[in-house]
Amino acid sequence: MRNKTFWIAYLLLLVAQLIISNFFRVTPYIMLSILPVMVLCIPTRVNTLWTMLIAFATGSTVDLLSEGVLGLNALALVPVAFLRNAVIHLIFGEELFARKEDFTLRSSGFAQVGLALLLVQALFLAIYIWADGAGTRPLPFNLYRFLASLGAGVLVSLIPLNVLASESRQ
Amino acid sequence: MKQQRLLFRLFNFAVFIFLEIAALQMVTHNAALQRVWVARGAHLFMGKVWGASQSIQSYFSLSGANRELSEENFRLLQELEQARERLRNARLDSLDTLYRPGFSMVAAEVVKVSRNKQHNYLILNRGYEDGIQEKSGIITPNGVVGIVDAVSEHHAFAFSFQNSDISISARLGSEGGSGLLVWDGIRSNGAILKEIPLQFRFQKGDTVYTSGHSLLFPPDIPLGIAGDAKVVNGATNEIAVRLFQDFSALRYVSVVHNNAFDEIEGFEQ
């Protein structure tokens, strides 16, 4: 995917997230979000500083245009952006950065990409659910919500992952 | 290069913190629940920080605190000693209630006492510098204790009543017959009142007082309680007496001296 096309896809997925946030609230136990995978798939040539700024802007846009507590998505998404390079280093190794390449489903395999997706999704949800509960909800509720949202989120994120981490991104 | 990378990471971290604070600001501005939650967290954090800083400050000021405590301890010990001295003097002053007209009186403390012999003695912490004279009586509110025999500058040696050589003129009841009270030589509070004429009637439980016939002791000092009696040689009664004075708890006494002692003794000579 060429650079311009990536960002168009990114914006379209942002719109998709707005639709999910506003119309797909099935149960309080599930919080669907594709924002972590969107941040994870931002090309590696975009440095951490810019990734964080993009994540902050993305989260704030979703917060502003959807129901919910303003700032929560931004609060949970910035740490994903901050740790994104560390996650990529951990799972895909140093070579990716050395070759200035991005991970793709084909080059890195579903297992590695899926693990990276799981990690960023877990980080995002942990912060989001913790801040959303504000210490008022019992731990079992938060735990069920986290696990259910993680499972659903990873499944839903496979679609944007397939779009953003395709071979043509290089 | 490494330093530049480190600086870049630090800058990233600073931006990260800044963005998180901005997001938190948005959250707290728009949700009351989250506002309270963040405020509580901030208070807890500040409490921990202040607590830690206080602990560090306290640690470094320990030597000063120790010095202050040591000085305070020294001052308190001094005050304690002064209070003890005042209490001691107050106890001695309370013995002034034993005052009898015609007798001079000096308060004293027993510094040594023997109780396990047949000829027991006392040593007092007052001497002729304090107005103590030989042939003075030693009394307490509970009775007679002994007689001063020798006096030094600051101390006095006295025969204890628990001495087989000492006898005191005593009277049975307020108007009963007089006799000689001596230690029974066995019990610390046991005495025998001898030579009570048979015509004087008495009952078990009557109080025994100093008679005032002696030059050494003022009259009417209660000494003990009369017990069993027996007739001796068909002429006098001999009565067992339980003394009020507990010689094992003897500490503060009054030394009484008859102001007319020399004059009366002069007549006898």
Q: What is the mean pLDDT of each run of 10 residues along chain A (170 residues)?
A: 77 90 79 90 87 92 84 91 88 76 78 88 91 78 89 88 68
Report pLDDT digits (tens) over B168-223: 999 888 777 889 999 888 888 889 998 888 888 888 888 999 888 888 888 888 89
Q: What is the mean pLDDT of residues B10-22?
A: 90
Q: In angstroms, rounded to a whole number, what is the distance separating the alpha carbons of residues A10 and A169?
A: 12
A60 touches chain B (CB under 8 A): yes
Asked if the Cβ–Cβ distance from A56 to B23 is below 8 Å, we say: yes
Reduce the secondary structure of chain B to three states and give it as a string.
Answer: CHHHHHHHHHHHHHHHHHHHHHHHHHHHHHCHHHHHHHHHHHHHHHHHHHHHHHHHHHHHCHHHHHHHHHHHHHHHHHHHHHHHHHHHHHHHHHHHHHCCCCEEEEEEEEEEECCCCCEEEEEECCCHHHCCCCCCEEEECCEEEEEEEEECCCCEEEEEEEECCCEEEEEECCCCCEEEEEECCCCCCEEEEEEEECCCCCCCCCEEEECCCCCCCCCCCEEEEEEEEEEECCCEEEEEEEECCCHHHCCEEEEEEECCHHHHHHHHC
Q: In angstroms, rounded to a whole number, what is the distance separating the alpha carbons of residues B108 and B106?
A: 6
Residues of A in contact with B23 (CB under 8 A): 56, 59-60, 71-72, 74-75, 78
Q: What is the mean pLDDT of residues B36-60?
A: 75
pLDDT above 90 coverage of chain B, percent: 12
Thinking of the domain B99-268, which architecture would CATH place it in? Beta Barrel (2.40)
The predicted pLDDT at position B229 comes to 87
Name the residue of chain B whose CA is nearest to A70's CA: B27
Asked if the Cβ–Cβ distance from B12 to A82 is below 8 Å, we say: yes
Asked if the Cβ–Cβ distance from B19 to A48 is below 8 Å, we say: no
The predicted pLDDT at position A165 comes to 76
The predicted pLDDT at position B104 comes to 82
User: Which of B16, B23, B40 is facing A74, going by the closest CB pair?
Assistant: B23
Q: In angstroms, rounded to a whole number, what is the distance separating the alpha carbons of residues B222 and B243?
A: 9
Burial class (CB in 10 A: 0-12, 13-18, 19+), B63: exposed
Q: Does residue B224 have a pLDDT over 60?
A: yes
pLDDT above 70 coverage of chain A, percent: 96
A68 touches chain B (CB under 8 A): no
- Name the packing angle between helices A110-133 and A72-92 (round to 10°): 150
Q: Which residue has the higher pLDDT, B139 or B260?
A: B139
Q: In angstroms, rounded to a whole number, what is the distance separating the alpha carbons of residues B122 and B117?
A: 12
- DSSP class per residue in chain A: --HHHHHHHHHHHHHHHHHHHHH----TT-----HHHHHHTS-TTS-HHHHHHHHHHHHHHHHHHSSS-TTHHHHHHHHHHHHHHHHHHHHH-THHHHTT----HHHH-HHHHHHHHHHHHHHHHHHHHHHHHTT-S-HHHHHHHHHHHHHHHHHHHHHHHHHHTSGGG-
Name the residue of chain A whose CA is nearest to B12's CA: A49
Report pLDDT digits (tens) over B244-268: 888 887 888 888 888 888 888 777 7
Q: How far apart are the first and last CA of chain B?
A: 123
Q: Does residue B41 have a pLDDT over 60?
A: yes
Burial class (CB in 10 A: 0-12, 13-18, 19+), B209: buried
The predicted pLDDT at position A133 comes to 78
CB A156 within 8 A of CB A144: no
The predicted pLDDT at position B96 comes to 56
Which of these, B102, B183, B1, B22, lies nearest to A57 by C-alpha position?
A: B22
Residue A124 identity (one-letter amino acid)? F
Those residues of chain B whose CB sits closer than 8 Å to some CB in chain A are 11-13, 15-16, 19-20, 22-27, 29-31, 33-34, 36-37, 40
Q: In angstroms, rounded to a whole number, what is the distance separating the alpha carbons of residues B40 and B34?
A: 10
Report pLDDT digits (tens) over B71-102: 777 678 778 877 877 887 777 666 655 556 67
